[in-house]
Each structure stands twice: as C-alpha cells, then as structure tokens.
Amino acid sequence: MSLDPTARLSNVLDSIKKYFVDNITGNHGYQIIFDKSLTTPEVFQTHSWKKWVVINMGQLNRNEGYLIIHIFCCTREDDEGHILAQMTDNVMGYLSDTTQTDSLARIPLYRSRATGAWELLQGGFVVLVNGEFPNQDLLDKDGTKFSVIDVTLRWVAKI
C-alpha cells in the first residue's frame, strides 16, 4: 500500500524547495543550499557568493503534520550586518502574509513527479515562525555573518 500524496516526504521536500527557489532565488537572486548544515565558509571559497541561504530540514512528524526547518541567511563582506538585515527581512517577507487575517504565510503542497506536470494538492503548509537569532558571526577571517530563522510548517497529512 502506498502513502497518500500529503504524507510523502518527496512531495513535502520538493514543494518546500520549489517555494524557496521560486521566491528567494527568483525574486532576489540569493543562492540557496538545502541540507548542507551551516558549514564553514571554506566550502564556498570557489564561489564568489556574497549572499546565500541555507535551508536545513529538522524534525518531521507525518502523523501530526509538521516539519521544522532552520533557515540561515548568510553574507560576506558585510561589516555592520546591514546587508544581512535586509536579506533577513526579504526572507521573512515570504514567511508571513499580511493579506491573511492571521498573517501566516501558506506554502502550496504539490504532488511532484520526475517527468510530467506537478499536481497542486488541496491544502498546503501553514508557516509558523518560531523565532530568530539575528546577526551572528562565524568568527572567521572572511567575515561571514548569518542570521537564523526557525520555522514550523504545519499541514494535514493523511496517514
């Protein structure tokens, strides 16, 4: 017996990736890395990135329909952290929605496929921001700074 599409991890992860790539990369040009943890900047020395986002998947509970994600907004050559603050504000803009009566953003849930069109499933994720840890330094010679946004995504998963 196969899982319902709302409980399939592949659909959950693909939908989250699509949302952030479409919005954060598409509208702001920030590079996005998924599930690489917050590695030291040496990983990026071959890249000229000055602004990037790392999205790590945390605890998942399909029965209760939640996934915790940690979003790291990262900058380089940003002495006072002003660019980081603007970047974090931009990312937060996709985690809230002032047009909703509860101001909570919704992320569409898709049934993803390797080939063929993706199918939009009924419902989606409700975004709950748990908290922020602004303007942290990696204390490294390249001056990388980061902010962390902890988020819980809630949805109705049919198990």
Task: Render pLDDT for 59-74 as a digit per residue (tens, 0 to 9).
Answer: 999 999 999 999 999 9
Architecture of domain 5-154 in CATH?
2-Layer Sandwich (3.30)
pLDDT value at 47 more than 80: no
Specify the pLDDT at position 110.
95
Tell me what pLDDT residue 148 has.
93
What pLDDT is recorded for position 1?
67
Average pLDDT over residues 23-30: 92
Residue 128 has phi, psi (to 5 degrees) of -120, 115
Domain locations along the chain: 5-154
Sheet containing 31-34: give its strands across.
31-34, 51-61, 66-75, 145-154, 119-137, 106-111
Q: Could you give the percent of the chain with pLDDT greater than 70?
A: 87
Rounded distance between C-alpha atoms, residue 61 and residue 18, angstroms:
21
Q: How many residues does the chain have?
A: 159
How far, in Å, CA of 83 to CA of 27, rounded? 16
Contact 84, 78 (CB under 8 A): yes
The predicted model gives 93-119 an average pLDDT of 93
Can you tell me the distance from the alpha carbon of 150 to that of 56, in angstroms, rounded to the nearest whole number? 10
Which pLDDT value is given to residue 10?
A: 92
> Running DSSP on this structure, what letter comes out for residue 96?
B
- Of residues 114 and 137, the one with the higher pLDDT is 114
Distance CA 129, CA 150 (A): 6
